[in-house]
Amino acid sequence: MIVVHHLNNSRSQRVLWLLEELGLAYEIKRYERDPRTLRAPSSLRDVHPLGKSPVITDGALTLAESGAIIEYLVDHHPEAKLAPPPGTPERVRYLYWLHYAEGSAMPLLLLKLVFDRIEGARMPFFARPIAKSIARRVKSSLVEPQIAQQLDYIEAQLAKYPWFAGDAFSAADIQMSYPLEAAAARAGSRASRTRSGARRRSRSPCRTAGDPRRCPSTTFAAGWCAPSRRT
């Protein structure tokens, strides 16, 4: 059976959502971040040397990286039609968003998180204004304009098609859910609007709703799963 090594508030919520879409049996092993440092526990290194989440194990297989896990599971279950057929424009958009999520969106959101922490960090009084000034300058010149540009781009694309790949829900929507949630959490109301727009499309009764064992993340609980194609 597939085991999802699930870290709270992490990318592994994508894998749980995908497994629900595929209707596969799976087991969740839970790991909790250190509440102070927010780092993953070292026990995750027993599963994969880099000690990050998501990781799945399935017999002798151990696989990390959201995008790789998604492609692996979707390839093994073509009957679920969670990837558009090769040779179509939908396939090209699917591949684009599958890679864009971590290749372009998340690095900026990581910078936002790091410089927000520097801006709010406790330090000697004489250092604080300088730290704040550096953090604000990096955010205003490098990070925030690019996040705004990316959110504009995502909104423009979602105005053209109901789902990221086109007219049908695909695993690219699952992959993109994480940067949209992270943008809403880290980039404020501007990002919340984009997320809300995307979420409206997928808002329908979650198959796992009401079962907190199966709905371990806020994303799941918020109804980000079970899109309308299931209704």
The contact set with its own copies (CB under 8 A) reads: 49-50, 52, 61, 63-68, 71-72, 75-76, 86-87, 91-92, 95-96, 98-100, 102-104, 106-107, 110-111, 114, 118, 126-127, 130-131, 133-134, 138, 142, 149-150, 152-153, 156
Smallest gap from residue 11 Cβ to its own copies (A): 9
Q: Where are the beta strands (DSSP E) in 59-108?
A: 61-64
Smallest distance, Å, CB 123 to its own copies? 8
What is the maximum span of the chain, computed from C-alpha positions, in angstroms? 62
Question: Shortest Cβ distance from residue 90 to its own copies (Å)?
Answer: 12
Shortest Cβ 92–its own copies spacing (Å): 6
Token code pair at residue 103: 């290749």
Cβ 95 to its own copies, closest distance in Å?
4
3-state SS class at 188: coil
Classify residue 214 by burial, with Cβ atoms within 10 Å: 0-12, 13-18, 19+: middle
**Is residue 118 classed as helix, strand or coil in its secondary structure?**
helix
Question: Which C-beta is closer to its own copies: that of 56 or that of 215?
Answer: 56
For its own copies, the closer of residues 59 and 200 by Cβ is: 59
Nearer to its own copies, 132 or 203 (CB): 132
Element (H, E) at 135: helix 128-138
Please give the single-letter amino acid code of residue 13: Q
Neighbours of 77 (CB within 10 A): 16
Q: Which is nearer to its own copies, 26 or 72 (CB)?
A: 72
Residue 153, CB-side half-sphere exposure with 13 Å CA sphere:
11
Residue 100 Cβ vs its own copies, minimum distance, rounded to whole Å = 5
Q: Which is nearer to its own copies, 81 or 99 (CB)?
A: 99
State which residue, 142 or 222, has the beta carbon closest to its own copies. Answer: 142
Q: What is the DSSP letter of 142?
A: I
Token digits of residue 8: 């709270």
